[in-house]
Amino acid sequence: MEPPLAGVGLDLLDIARLERALERRPRLARRLFTDAELAYADGRARPGQHLAARFCAKEAVAKALGLEVWSFADVEVLATSTAPEVRLSGGAARRAAELGVQPRISLTHTETTAGAVAVAL
């Protein structure tokens, strides 16, 4: 039997837009991303591309969980040897527990656009 689907979220972002925002406001990165997410992106040729995908994942998870008020720190994207995973804390973790779900995500990017989809199963 399939687990019940509680929600779906999708988000897209122009990568250059995030790169410009982070360049103008360097402290913004600390508000949006965890140390592990920043370290992962720093190890890549174009960090903004990977941060944009993670930003989209956070937004998609918030949509899938139906979060109205939340913190970007409540949703962390974990790099694994296979598909990325999500670690929740704070209000996002409480909402997922209320729904009895754990979000799953898929990330993608082109040269110009990043995207993510989240399903709450």
Domains of the chain: 7-120 (3.90.470.20)
pLDDT at 114: 98
The two beta strands, 7-14 and 113-120, are: antiparallel
Assess contact for 64 and 7: CB atoms under 8 A. Answer: yes
Buried-exposed string 66-81: b where 16+ CB fall within 10 A, e elsewhere? ebeebebebbbbebee
Q: Looking at residues 12-38, what average pLDDT do you find?
A: 97
Indicate whether this model's pTM tops 0.75: yes
The pLDDT confidence band at residue 6, using thresholds 50, 70 and 90, is confident
pLDDT at 1 over 70: no
The pLDDT confidence band at residue 103, using thresholds 50, 70 and 90, is very high
pLDDT at 53 over 80: yes
pLDDT at 88: 98
Q: Which two tokens stand for residue 66?
A: 């139906």
Q: List Cβ neighbours of 86 (8 Å cut-off, separation of 6 or more).
A: 57, 61, 75, 76, 77, 78, 102, 103, 104, 105, 118
